[in-house]
A and B are shown apart, each in its own frame.
Chain A
Amino acid sequence: MIVVEQKPLEDIIDMVKDSDRMLVLGCDGCSGIYQVGGEKQAEVLSSMLRMGKKTKGENKEGDLKIEASTVLRQCDKEIVREALEGSIEGYDAVLSMACGAGVQTVAEVFSEKLVLPAVNTKFIGMQDREMGDLHERCSACGDCILDKTGGVCPITRCAKGLLNGPCGGQVEGKCEVGGYENDCAWILIYNKLKELEKLDQFLQFRLMRDNRISQSPRDLKGGVKYSGGGE
């Protein structure tokens, strides 16, 4: 899932200082599931901003309208349009608590509105509920080689994204980046392939990537099927 993290409150306050009529918009997709930008968080943030503005007396009496709402998924144009059409007119700005795709979906659907991001979009993550951690596991590079690397992605988990084995910066299986705390992806791959008796794959020389595959902006055009609710 997409991992997001709320921006520091002072940054948000500075970002919205000129917006008195604002919709704080949560997303029940990834952002809501990780309880960063779902319904509850949108309500909390909107009341904090409202109180802050009232306390500072920045707005003219009676002019302040900061409210919260949440949509099923902000990265779906149809869902966003249906949920907000008719109600969004009363606001000058939308403070989105979704990932960058969500922010831009709202901005595209309601092009006349100022849409601001309340969260930073971090990465595609794997959840470790026991530890309460999220770990990056995929860079959406567009050319998956996990079949050849024992299910460990070197593009993402190697700090250098190397294709041809460990560099000189690994010590006892730990990576030089981050103070030897993170695993060296290529030693994980080595161990896994050794276990699977497939070390011949580890030995394989790989040619360079064609980076056009991951050249932004990327699209999947036409024929995208949908079964995600919200129709």
Chain B
Amino acid sequence: MKAYSNLMQELLNGKFVFTGELEPEKTTDLTELVEGAKPLVGYAVACNVTDNPQSMAYMSSLVASYVVQRDAGMEVVYQLRCSDRNRLALTGDVLGAAALGLKNILALTGDHVSLGDNPGAKSVCDLDSALLTYMIRRMVDEGVDLAEKPIHEPPKLHVGVAVNPNADPLEAEVMKLKRKEVAGAEFAQTQVIYEMEKVDRLFEVYDQYGIKVPVIIGIFPMKNYGVADYFDKNIPGVSVPKELLETFRKVTEISDKKQRKEKYMEINLEYFENFVRDIKKSEAKGVHVMAVGYEVMVRELIGRVRGEG
């Protein structure tokens, strides 16, 4: 198998990978995004660029991905949702991504549009994440679109998918991952988890279904109590462990801003260093650090754990 991207090359080489995450918002200014990516070069092998996360109508992920790759020199995992586009638009975006030199796509169904900031929008979902994966692989491997129409100069890129280890029943979710593997998924990134128990449980069912697609575990170091609390309350099916949340809450009692910042850093590093070390001992092939806007933390954490075991 040939690797078109650094991410896929590292996975094929058996290296434990680190990926980061960037979130373009409702703006035409990509300075912050590019500046956020720069410190991670040499630490994360690639960064995901989100596509209308939580169904917010944001700057095009395709454009942001291209600019990040061009101006920050950071390889991207271009996230692509089915919620907002039919198969024609998706085909066009995949071709466009390849033309712009993007090498990884994360195929997502996407949150329902009614949850976002334009809740009256029409939900498209002409395809789902498994079908988008299938579409991309046929474009790459066979040089045809979904209607079997030939593509002049087919795209050369890889397709990953998402899996949620918090899902209950977990078996149904892992069976969906199996289906995505059948459809051609080349890597999987998980929703955020905090406990090793969930990692182990995921791989238990994963093994039962003989899944081989490399899994990158999602973690979320939190910049401050506000972020932690929001995440705990608003992300479906994910909760921050009570003790950790309480430790974060206590930091808010510190009056000095600089001290608070240091304390958050210390708590995160203590928790996530150990967590990542444990993840490295599992079947996981990497860690996806979803700390948007907290580059200093992502860099420090990866720096501490990447060379080991």
| Known A-B contacts A177-B112, A187-B169; A199 and B175 likewise in contact (beta carbons under 8 Å) | yes
Residues of B within 8 A of A208 (CB): 87, 126-127, 131, 146
Stretch at the interface among A80-88, A106-114, A167-175: A167-175
Q: Across the interface, do B128 and A186 meet the contact criterion of CB distance under 8 Å? A: no
Stretch at the interface among A29-37, A143-151, A155-163: A155-163
- Min CB gap B186→A, angstroms: 16
Q: Across the interface, do B128 and A164 meet the contact criterion of CB distance under 8 Å? A: yes
- Min CB gap A200→B, angstroms: 10
Q: Across the interface, do B236 and A171 meet the contact criterion of CB distance under 8 Å? A: yes
| Known A-B contacts A162-B125, A205-B179; A172 and B168 likewise in contact (beta carbons under 8 Å) | yes
B114 at the interface (CB under 8 A from A): yes
B12 at the interface (CB under 8 A from A): no
B38 at the interface (CB under 8 A from A): no
A38 at the interface (CB under 8 A from B): no
Residues of A within 8 A of B169 (CB): 173, 187, 190
| Known A-B contacts A160-B112, A168-B109, A169-B236; A202 and B128 likewise in contact (beta carbons under 8 Å) | no
Q: Across the interface, do A161 and B125 meet the contact criterion of CB distance under 8 Å? A: yes
Residues of B within 8 A of A215 (CB): none
Bound: A167/B179 CA distance, A: 13
B158 at the interface (CB under 8 A from A): no
Bound: A208/B130 CA distance, A: 10
Q: Mark B120-159, 1 if CB is under 8 A from A, else 0.
A: 0001011111110010000000000010000000000000
- Of the candidates B111, B167, B171, the one whose C-beta lies within 8 Å of that of A176 is B111
B237 at the interface (CB under 8 A from A): yes
- Min CB gap B8→A, angstroms: 22
Chain B contacts with A in 4-45, Cβ cutoff 8 A: none
Closest partner residue, chain A, to B209 (CB atom): A203
Bound: A190/B162 CA distance, A: 19
Closest partner residue, chain B, to A202 (CB atom): B175
B182 at the interface (CB under 8 A from A): yes
Residues of B within 8 A of A205 (CB): 130, 134, 179, 182-183
Which of A165, A176, A202: most chain B Cβ within 10 A?
A165
- Of the candidates A159, A162, A202, the one whose C-beta lies within 8 Å of that of B172 is A202
Residues of B within 8 A of A180 (CB): 236
Which of A163, A171, A187, A208: most chain B Cβ within 10 A?
A208
Bound: A173/B172 CA distance, A: 10
Residues of A within 8 A of B134 (CB): 205, 207
Q: Across the interface, do B182 and A160 meet the contact criterion of CB distance under 8 Å? A: no
Q: Across the interface, do B236 and A176 meet the contact criterion of CB distance under 8 Å? A: yes
Q: Across the interface, do B126 and A176 meet the contact criterion of CB distance under 8 Å? A: no
Residues of A within 8 A of B129 (CB): 164, 167
- Of the candidates A167, A190, A199, A204, the one whose C-beta lies within 8 Å of that of B109 is A167
- Of the candidates A162, A171, A190, A211, the one whose C-beta lies within 8 Å of that of B128 is A162
Bound: A199/B129 CA distance, A: 20
Q: Mark A55-89, 1 if CB is under 8 A from B, else 0.
A: 00000000000000000000000000000000000
Q: Across the interface, do B128 and A160 meet the contact criterion of CB distance under 8 Å? A: yes
- Min CB gap B164→A, angstroms: 5
Which of A167, A171, A208: most chain B Cβ within 10 A?
A167
Q: Across the interface, do B168 and A176 meet the contact criterion of CB distance under 8 Å? A: no
A26 at the interface (CB under 8 A from B): no
Residues of A within 8 A of B83 (CB): 160
Residues of A within 8 A of B111 (CB): 168-169, 176
| Known A-B contacts A159-B123, A168-B191; A207 and B236 likewise in contact (beta carbons under 8 Å) | no
Q: Across the interface, do B126 and A165 meet the contact criterion of CB distance under 8 Å? A: no
- Min CB gap B87→A, angstroms: 7
A100 at the interface (CB under 8 A from B): no
B176 at the interface (CB under 8 A from A): yes
Bound: A93/B112 CA distance, A: 41
Could you give 30 example pairs across A and B, Cβ below 8 Å?
Answer: A159-B112, A160-B112, A160-B128, A162-B125, A162-B128, A164-B129, A164-B130, A165-B176, A165-B179, A166-B172, A166-B173, A167-B109, A168-B109, A168-B162, A170-B237, A171-B236, A172-B168, A176-B236, A177-B112, A177-B115, A186-B172, A187-B169, A190-B175, A203-B175, A204-B179, A205-B130, A207-B131, A208-B87, A208-B126, A208-B127
Listed from nearest, the 3 A-B pairs whose CB atoms lie closest are A165-B176, A164-B130, A171-B237
Q: Chain B interface (Cβ within 8 Å of chain A)?
A: 83, 87, 109, 111-112, 114-115, 123, 125-131, 134, 146, 162, 164, 167-169, 171-173, 175-176, 178-179, 182-183, 191, 236-237
Q: Chain A interface (Cβ within 8 Å of chain B)?
A: 159-173, 176-177, 180, 186-187, 190, 199, 202-205, 207-208, 211
4 extra A-B contacts, CB within 8 A, seeds A166-B172, A211-B126: A165-B175, A169-B112, A202-B175, A208-B131
